[in-house]
Amino acid sequence: MIGLLTEMQAMELLKKSTLGRIGCTDGNETYIIPVSYLHDGNSIIAHSKPGRKITMMRNNPEVCFEVDHIKSFNTWKTVIAWGKYEEIKDESEKSKIMYAFARRMIYLKESQIIDPPETSAMRLQPEPDLKTVVYKISLRKITGRYERHDRDELY
């Protein structure tokens, strides 16, 4: 059976997941990249080193965000959300966000692209020369779908 997730089910999937994909464009080329994230109920919050994705989103802040939960080939849920990229500039707010990432993701696999959050209180404070860009995607539209066998529950 294929069906639509309710807005509440879609928001729950966004909240419990930690890995999603951002789709952005410069008008000529579309770029889709996985990111670790937090969901605060209204926005996707993430961080990144400066690069292609950040440059594209700065130039065209209208982005798409997608997250999946796949149990098997025919038992899955997916959410797609649209929103606007906004950089967080306030150092105090950035520090709080990075601390929230550290608390949520401390036990996840380390990435070779993004330095993992550390448990040391000193490392949880952003350094003045830190190049990390902290941003949010303010969501304005969200939709979700699922597929499952009759014997499977909507996990």
DSSP string, 82-140: EEEEEE---HHHHHHHHHHHHHHHTTSPPPSSSPPP-S-TTTTSPPTT---EEEEEEEE
* pLDDT value of position 24: 97
The pLDDT-based confidence of 100 (bands split at 50, 70, 90) is: confident
* pLDDT value of position 105: 72
Domain-embedded: residue 154: no
Between the CA atoms of 113, 85, 142 and 37, what dihedral angle is there, to the nearest 10 degrees?
30
- Are 143 and 79 contacting, i.e. CB atoms less than 8 angstroms apart? yes
The pLDDT tens digits of the residues spanning 111-145 come to 555 555 554 444 444 444 358 899 999 999 999 99
Mean per-residue pLDDT, 83-110: 84
* pLDDT value of position 23: 98
Domain-embedded: residue 99: yes
* pLDDT value of position 66: 98
* Region of 152 on the Ramachandran plot (φ > 0 left; ψ -120 to 50 alpha; else beta): beta
Domain-embedded: residue 59: yes
Mean per-residue pLDDT, 78-99: 94
* pLDDT value of position 130: 58
* pLDDT value of position 128: 40
CATH number at residue 96: 2.30.110.10
Q: How many domains does the chain have?
A: 1
Domain-embedded: residue 121: yes
Domain-embedded: residue 153: no
Structural domain range at position 131: 2-147
The pLDDT tens digits of the residues spanning 25-67 come to 999 999 999 999 999 999 999 999 999 999 999 999 999 999 9
Task: Please give the structure tokens belonging to residue 110.
Answer: 């380390």
Domain-embedded: residue 12: yes
Domain-embedded: residue 56: yes
Domain-embedded: residue 34: yes
DSSP 8-state code for residue 69 = E
* pLDDT value of position 150: 60
Question: Cα separation of 104 and 116, whole Å?
Answer: 11
Decide if pLDDT at 94 tops 60. Answer: yes
